[in-house]
Amino acid sequence: MGIPGLLATLFLPWLLGVVWLRARWLKADNLDWPTLLGYGYLAGALMTTLMMRLLDAAGMRLGFLPLALALALLIALGFAAGRGLPWQGLHRREGWSELPGWHKAAFAGLLGLVAVRLAGLGLEIIWQPLYAWDAWSHWATKARTWHGLGYMAPFASYDIWLQTDGVFTDRAPHYPPAIPLLQVWTSLGLGRWDDSLMNLPWLMVAIALAMAFYGQARQWGIAPLFAMMFTYFLLSLPLLDAHVALAGNADLFLGAVYGLAAFAFFHWTRSRAVWQGVMAILLGAGCILLKQPGIGWALTLLPAFWVALAPRAGLIGTLILGVLTLAGLLLFGQNGFNLLGYSLKLAYTPVWLPLWDNLGVLDNWHLLFYLAVAALLVFLPRLFAPAYRAMTVAVCSALAFILAIFFFTHVGAWVEDYTVINRALLHLVPMLLFYMMVLFWEASGSLPAVMVTERTAQAE
């Protein structure tokens, strides 16, 4: 199969997601092509892994042709559920033709920088063998085993592995299978095992994330140059780029899927667009397919949905739940318990110094977190205004989740030795940057702040 098969594994999932995003029932009438392509790839990639699990459960061997035919059938069904070709009737944003010449030149320059960055990251993936520790101790172990056997052989903990035939083990046998399944799918299309080329989906995720970020920014009403500037900010972050170049970990996928769910949720809070709400729910739930902490990230969106649907009750209820959670830790946390794969115990670990080093001193995130603190302080009076409060609750829930993990679980040891801190922060960075972009843009006076719908106002 070779290169044609490899390309098919990259673009069949993309087409699958695109055609289903154009389904009639989603009512995505105001969709533009960057948003369609960005959301299309990540949705299609997750659908591909679910189809692989379904075929394996049915007793079918994991092979390129059976999987390609299954995806082709789903694509055909998507065409039938859509309204003609996926690219027909896409919305065209206003404002480009009216831009001054220097705006267009600056936009072209930033777009060129993004393209060069992505091309360089793609070459890193192609040239470099599997390198990152978790990539070959958590994920590629499963991918190599399943590719060689042709089915999803079970992985279990060391004690079970020692006593059971036909069972395999690695450093994270309990982790979800989506990431290694994507590596298996790419290898099946290539026709051989290649621990470099199997990681090309990481490049596709970076491209899709950039497209979705820019497309949703334009859909918000943000000017092309401003939207492209923040898209470049996102794609120039050193830690994000490192997770593309050193491909094989799940964190980039989790950050992209969670980020796209958050972008869609932010839009849904002000427009109640059906497709935005559906994407927020489905991609939020899709976090669970990627990594064990994905369960926690998915749950962080629930308080924000509650606030969006019932502002007063949601804010009060979220506050009460937070207090009850803290009380539960005080009463029952002394003995410790496991939650979402983490050992929880009310034992405060002061990790402020490594947190400060990684966010404010080391060149991991450039000036991102300085900008975040400045934005939150400057715009503090408006953060809980009707137009922003559900978005603010989503961001606060995500920050509370990650800080609780850092300061009150065994992960604190990994924060102190700098091994997990930035990977975990990567999960919330796309959402945080989009939130900051909206605050800066609407505060600039270039576009009046968009208030929530009449239904939300009436719920006041």
d(CA 316, CA 430): 28
DSSP string for residues in 167-233: -B--S-TTS-SHHHHHHHHHHHHHTS--TTGGGHHHHHHHHHHHHHHHHHHHHHT--HHHHHHHHHH
The C-alpha R_g of the chain, in whole angstroms, comes to 22
For residue 14, pLDDT beyond 90: yes
Region 17-41 average pLDDT = 91
Residue 249: exposure state from Cβ atoms within 10 A (0-12, 13-18, ≥19): buried
pLDDT cut 90: percent of the chain above it: 65
The SS3 assignment for 247 reads coil
d(CA 423, CA 255): 9
Closest CA to 432 of 357, 376, 382: 376
pTM summary value: 0.93
**pLDDT value of residue 113:** 97
| Cβ-contact 424, 239 below 8 angstroms | no
How many CA atoms lie less than 13 Å away from 50 in the CB half-sphere? 13
**pLDDT value of residue 404:** 83
d(CA 334, CA 416): 22
DSSP string for residues in 340-395: TTEEE-S-----HHHHHIIIIISTTSTTHHHHHHHHHHHTGGGTTSTTTHHHHHHH
Q: Long-range pairs for 348-352 at CB < 8 Å and ≥24 separation?
A: 348/407, 348/408, 349/406, 349/407, 349/408, 349/412, 349/413, 349/415, 349/416, 350/407, 351/406, 351/407, 351/412, 351/415, 351/416, 351/421
d(CA 68, CA 48): 10
Chain segment 337-371, per-residue pLDDT in tens: 665 555 566 667 788 999 999 998 988 999 999 99
| Cβ-contact 17, 47 below 8 angstroms | yes
Please enumerate in sequence order all residues whose Cβ is within 8 A of that of 352, keeping only pairs 6 or more positions apart, or say none. Answer: none
| Cβ-contact 434, 263 below 8 angstroms | yes
> What does pLDDT average to over the chain?
89
In b/e form, how buried is each residue of 308-319, taking b as 16+ CB within 10 angstroms? beebeebbeebe
Token pair recorded at residue 288 = 């669970």
DSSP string for residues in 70-132: HHHHHHHHHHHHBSSSTTTT----SSSTTS-HHHHHHHHHHHHHHHHHHHHHHHHHHHSPS--
| Cβ-contact 317, 330 below 8 angstroms | no
Region 146-153 average pLDDT = 96
**pLDDT value of residue 100:** 80
* Residue 88 pLDDT grade (very low, low, confident, very high; cuts 50, 70, 90): low
Neighbours of 83 (CB within 10 A): 13
Token pair recorded at residue 64 = 């390129």
Chain segment 393-421, per-residue pLDDT in tens: 999 999 989 988 888 777 888 888 888 89
**pLDDT value of residue 457:** 38
Lowest-confidence range among 10-14, 76-80, 99-103, 209-213? 99-103
**pLDDT value of residue 337:** 60
**pLDDT value of residue 403:** 87
* Residue 29 pLDDT grade (very low, low, confident, very high; cuts 50, 70, 90): confident
For residue 326, pLDDT beyond 90: no
